Amino acid sequence: MKPILSAIKTALPEIVQSTNNNAFRAAGQAIAELGVASCIGTACVKKELLNSTIVQALSKVTFSILLPMFLGTSIVKTVTTNHGNLLNRRTSFALPLVAVLQTYLLFLLSKYLLLPLFGITDDDEDDDARVTMVCCSWGNTSVLPIIFIEALFRHPYEPSSVLAHCYGHISLYLMGWSPFFWSFGRSILIQSDSEINAPVKNSDVDRNLLGGFSRTIILAKIREMKRLIPPPVAGVLVGLIIGLSPLQYLFVNNPSKGYKAPLAVAFNSFQNLGRAASPLALLVLTSSLAIGAGGQQQQQNGAQKDDDGCSNITDKDNNSNKWIQKWACVSVSRFIASPIIMLTCLRFLHKFDMIGNAQEAPILWFVLLLESCMPPAQNAVLMLQVANKGREASELAKFLFCIYVTAMIPVTVIVGISLQRLGLV
């Protein structure tokens, strides 16, 4: 313990001194903006302006329509205006690769080291173990990073420079992260699929006898592809196709050459609608976390009214211990192990000349380090809801609220150090 305490005493003055610089002030301001938004979301829930049904509807609109428009138009603008800067050094391949590689390494670390270290049993039948592994491995890679970069680089930078590069890097990162999350991550979180394992009805057999079997297989494959390519990824793919092909001349104006695209009106409309993705996603995020916290409070009040003797006290103590173990495991994974693994992956990719170093590509390094320290993915709750696991989804929402509150301090420190070391502020 003495070496550890000595190291803490040595590092503490440096940390306190570093909090006075611009990098940490910028990171703190971003966290403060998120805190204000959380208060607004909580107030909307308390005043019953938003409930779980409305939040789910807003979430579907954001995820299926607005976010794909935002990412798609952002990648088109970035590719057409900064084509060489975005795609040199094979960045377009490196970003999806590092998303999958870093997530999988984090999954292995959590499964074989962190879970046993914190006393969590790795059992296929244990829902807590599966949820913990998913929370340890997959972070919030779209909504929260976009909110952070807008808070950090909104001023004094022009949106067409730093922000455009950040949007492009996040979009390419999602191309690897999202399919991996909705395939491998889903297989961990949900062991069985009710649609696949559902019994065959007589009408299904009749259709199969009439030649509908092939159609059933095709529809199943289409559903599987939709799950592997969610709407945000589809938006990025469409944006890349338009931006890297002659189709760009149909949608994107070129003022420097005096060229007006015939379908620029459609592109501008998509871009305007896409701008609503960030504020609406922030409202959905904060209000859903507030709903989860409210559910937790109701559960605690109910537990206080329930007095069944010593057995209930023992059960509550056991549940409390499990919750602390899970919280500690996820916190160590997301805010300590994940940034270290990401930094290792970045150096590995630079060694093979797939990306530039921190001085050559500071924005890329910052975006990936930002992605690595984000709290767990909120879409895990959606997965459980779709799989008709309402109780597990409610418990996960309560747990995520606590993790997101915990994330404020470590994320501020990591973002501040990254901004300072990369010279972005």
Residue-wise pLDDT for 64-116, tens only, equals: 899 899 888 888 887 777 544 555 556 778 899 999 999 999 999 999 999 99
pLDDT for residue 164: 80
Determine the pLDDT at residue 230.
81
State the DSSP code for 255.
G
∠ at Cα 27 (22, 31), nearest 5°? 145
pLDDT of 379 strictly over 50: yes
> Does residue 200 surpass a pLDDT of 80?
no
**pLDDT of amino acid 417:** 92
DSSP 115-126: HHHTT----TT-
pLDDT digits (tens, 9 = 90+) for 176-188: 898 899 889 988 8
Mean pLDDT over 241-262 rounds to: 82
Cα 83 from chain centre: 26
As a whole number, mean pLDDT of residues 221-232 equals 73
Is the pLDDT assigned to residue 374 strictly greater than 50? yes
Strand partners, 376: 139
- Count of CB atoms situated within 10 Å of the CB of 183: 12
Contact between 200 and 220 (Cβ < 8 Å): no
Pull the structure tokens for residue 2: 């003495």
The whole-angstrom separation of Cα 103 and Cα 194 is: 27
CA distance 132 to 400: 11
Higher pLDDT, 10 or 40: 40
Cα(351)–Cα(346) distance, rounded to whole angstroms?
9
The larger pLDDT score, comparing residue 93 to residue 351, is at 351
Residues 6 or more apart from 141 whose CB is under 8 A from it? 99, 170, 173, 174, 177, 178, 371, 374, 377
> Which pTM was predicted?
0.78
- C-alpha 234/C-alpha 69 separation (Å) is 10
User: Is the pLDDT score of 52 beyond 60?
Assistant: yes
Q: What is residue 158's predicted lDDT score, i.e. its pLDDT?
A: 52
CB environment 289-306: b (16+ within 10 A), e (fewer): bbbbbbbbeeeeeeeeee
Q: How many Cα neighbours within 13 Å face the side chain of 246?
A: 0
Query: How far apart are the C-alpha atoms of 349 and 343, rounded to whole Å?
Result: 10
Dmax over CA atoms of the chain, in Å, equals 80
More confident residue, 111 or 204: 111
DSSP element (H, E) containing 357? none
For the chain, state the CA radius of gyration.
23
Torsion of the alpha carbons at 221, 195, 207 and 203, rounded to the nearest 10: -170
Give the DSSP letter string of 31-86: HHHHHHHHHHHHHHHHTTS--HHHHHHHHHHIIIIIHHHHHHHHHHHHHHHSHHHH
Share of the chain above pLDDT 90, in %: 25
Mean of per-residue pLDDT scores for the chain = 79
Which of residues 210 and 59 earns the better pLDDT score? 59
pLDDT tens digits for range 114-160:
999 998 887 656 678 899 999 999 999 888 898 888 888 876 555 55
246: pLDDT strictly greater than 90: no
- If residue 4 lies in a helix (H) or strand (E), which one and from where to where? helix 2-18
Residues near 288 by beta carbon (within 8 Å), at least 6 away in sequence: 52, 55, 59, 378, 381, 397
Any residues with CB less than 8 A from the CB of 87 and at least 6 apart, and which?
79
Residue with tokens 């301090």: 409
Q: pLDDT tens digits for 290-337?
A: 887 665 444 444 444 444 555 455 555 567 788 899 999 999 999 999
Q: What is the pLDDT of residue 165?
A: 83
DSSP, collapsed to helix, strand or coil, labels residue 361 as coil
pLDDT average, residue stretch 37-52: 88
Confidence of residue 205 (pLDDT cuts 50, 70, 90): very low
Tokens for 210, please give them.
């009439």
Of 61, 53, 77, 76, residue with least CA distance to 273: 61
Residue 93's SS3 state is helix
DSSP 360: T
Please enumerate in sequence order all residues whose Cβ is within 8 A of that of 177, keeping only pairs 6 or more positions apart, or say none. 96, 99, 100, 103, 138, 141
The answer to whether 315 and 394 are in contact (CB under 8 A) is no
